Structure 1
Amino acid sequence: MNASYIAIDWGSTHLRAWLYRDGQCVDSLQQPLGVSRLTEQTPRQVFEQFIQLWRSAQDIPVIMAGMIGSDAGWQTVPYLPCPVTLHEIGAQLFEVAPQVWIVPGLKMARNVMRGEETQLIGAMQLAPADCYVMPGTHSKWVQIHEGSVSGFTTAMTGELHHLLMNHSLIGKGLPEQHDDEAAFNTGLQCGLDSPSLVSRLFEARASRVLGDLPPECVSEWLSGLLIGAEVAAMSHELAVKHVTLVGNESLCRRYRRALAKVNIGSQEIAGDAAFQQGIRSIIDARR
């Protein structure tokens, strides 16, 4: 594949873009200009400032994915209802400017995703599986049946960790936090044992106040608790034996540890690799 194109992952907090010429990445950028951070500029103005310079006179095709297609982004792009094939996702791009498209998100009766669908397109080619786990602010557990996304579930694990550490009594007055495998493992086991969470969350504060948990390790304990609860609940709901993790290495490592404790096998693919393959597949399908 020797196409020239621009791939953009435009989320809530960051804009990331890659310029491909003749199938090779020749430039990239990352800016803290996610759609939730734009106060004085519109997405179109940011695009003109940072991306249009790459296009020159050729109007190189641009494929964007993520929150740029939300009601807070460039333009609201409709969600596609599940079940849906990955080919259908790529075939129903939404054009917001000449040769500039946004990938649609996916929806179910009480759930939505936007951005992960592009990673899924790539992950299904690079690491086929019946279930994908996509850790993050809003973790996704995605079920695949006969080449279609048949359903998915969202766990607000990452956001809950952030809120508790920054806006609750649990995180109040804590020193700088440090990695601590033992604290993570202790929290992990608590989460696996009590996935309902409600009766265990306050232990993050009580254990620290009583001297059982070092104050610099609260974040690790809480991370273990939340991930353990997520994995326990989802493994019971989906009854899966093997999953493919899609995300960054450090976060996937935590999930691998939790999955192993409930006897779920896993393989892993980097989120950026999956995203880039997803965009390439969409470009190839349009040629």
Structure 2
Amino acid sequence: MTSRYIAIDWGSTNLRAWYYQDGTCVDSRQTAAGITRLNGKSPQAVFDEVTHGWREDKTPVLMAGMVGSNAGWKTAPYLPCPAQFSDLSQQLMPVLDNVWIIPGMSVQREDNRNVMRGEETQLLGARTLSQSPLYVMPGTHCKWVQADERTVQDFRTVMTGELHHLLLNHSLVGAGLPEQQASLSAFRAGLERGVNDRDLLPRLFEVRAAHVLGNLPRDEVSEFLSGLLIGNEAAAMTRHYALSQQHPVTLVANPSLSQRYVSALALLGFQASVLDGDEAFQAGIRSIANAVAN
């Protein structure tokens, strides 16, 4: 691949693109035209718009995310885990001339069936920036990933972000609530409850009861619920992976979201290093671009 390339993170709801020359980002663009929000346009039409003026000489393009799903532009394969990091650059899915989609990853065992798209590119970048045996990738569907220097061994997904949204906006827990406010104290109260109580399902209705009875301010329900869910997730997953408190953990996310997980892990006695999700994604794309060039 040449010293110029385009990186695209094309998810369900948004698309972000970066134009690189000699390893430096010289331009970037974003649009709400995610794969589920094309508004009647074809994926190629959206692609042509977002890369306009960048591809006069057919600059290479690497894309990751839901663009490679069965609802996207072209279905890219899932690499079954354990999978080598190097496999990502060796099994790219061609779409157009000098345009490729990065494959996702999967786990298919009796005790664990999982898939990821987009996170594998962040994961590759995270591995180049900070090697760790366990990566936590918070988001709508949080990934907990076991890896070594060369291989993604296993991963699991926790739907914490989506569950928070559904409960707050489409269930009795959040019915009739006013606009929600930031509250560190409410988040920490939820976090303590989530970390120390394994019985999550009975606790969910108690969130509703607490604000109905006046024990929880009605504009702080979102923060308490966030703490409850993240705390329960962190406790459950650290138990699942049988982590000792000396076990290094690396978080890959935007700063505000990663801080919530730092707090949850700290309450459990773990220290976590943090990598910015965008930085990790771009490092992953750069690693693949370099591998293809060589």
TM-score band, normalised by shorter chain: over 0.9
Choose the corresponding residue for 1:264, options 262, 270, 274.
270
Q: Does 1:65 align with 2:88?
A: no
- What do the CA deviations read for 1:174-198 (whole angstroms, capped 9, x no partner)? 1111111110011111111223411
SS of residue in 2 equivalent to 1:225: helix
Residue in 2 aligned with 1:96? 95
State the AA in 2 paired with 1:97: L
Q: Does 1:249 align with 2:255?
A: yes
SS of residue in 2 equivalent to 1:201: helix
Consecutive unaligned residues of structure 2, counting only runs of 5 or more, are none
Contact 1:195 1:230 in 2 (8 A): no
State the AA in 2 paired with 1:86: F
- Backbone CA RMSD of aligned residues: 1.2
Task: Count residues with an aligned counterpart.
Answer: 286
Residue in 1 aligned with 2:143? 140
State the AA in 1 paired with 2:132: A
C-alpha displacement at 1:121, in angstroms? 0.7
Residue in 1 aligned with 2:75? 76
Q: Does 1:24 align with 2:24?
A: yes
How far apart, CA to CA, are the structure 1 residues paired with 2:60 and 2:36?
25
C-alpha displacement at 1:89, in angstroms? 1.2
State the AA in 1 paired with 2:120: E
- What do the CA deviations read for 1:130-183 (whole angstroms, capped 9, x no partner)? 000000000000001352000001000000001111101111111111111110
C-alpha displacement at 1:269, in angstroms? 0.4
Residue in 1 aligned with 2:46? 46
Residue in 2 aligned with 1:210? 213
C-alpha displacement at 1:203, in angstroms? 1.5
Contact 1:16 1:28 in 2 (8 A): yes
State the AA in 2 paired with 1:93: L
- Please give the TM-score of this superposition, normalised by the length of structure 2: 0.95
- What do the CA deviations read for 1:101-125 (whole angstroms, capped 9, x no partner)? 0000000111000000000111001
C-alpha displacement at 1:100, in angstroms? 0.3
Aligned-pair identity in percent equals 56
C-alpha displacement at 1:52, in angstroms? 4.0
Consecutive unaligned residues of structure 1, counting only runs of 5 or more, are none
How far apart, CA to CA, are the structure 2 residues paired with 1:54 and 1:61?
10
C-alpha displacement at 1:251, in angstroms? 0.6
- Please give the TM-score of this superposition, normalised by the length of structure 1: 0.97
- Specify whether residues 239 and 48 from structure 1 end up closer, same or farther in structure 2 by C-alpha distance, changes over 3 A only: same
- What do the CA deviations read for 1:64-89 (whole angstroms, capped 9, x no partner)? 00000001110111100000111111
Range 139-148 or range 152-161, more displaced: 139-148
SS of residue in 1 equivalent to 2:291: helix
Range 212-221 or range 38-47, more displaced: 38-47
Q: Does 1:228 align with 2:227?
A: no
State the AA in 1 paired with 2:259: R
C-alpha displacement at 1:2, in angstroms? 7.6
- What do the CA deviations read for 1:216-243 (whole angstroms, capped 9, x no partner)? 1000000000001100100000022220
How far apart, CA to CA, are the structure 2 residues paired with 1:194 and 1:12?
34
Contact 1:77 1:104 in 2 (8 A): yes
State the AA in 2 paired with 1:96: V
Q: Does 1:278 align with 2:281?
A: no
Residue in 2 aligned with 1:179? 182
- What do the CA deviations read for 1:226-282 (whole angstroms, capped 9, x no partner)? 001100100000022220000000110000000011112210000000000000000
Contact 2:2 2:60 in 1 (8 A): no
Residue in 2 aligned with 1:189? 192
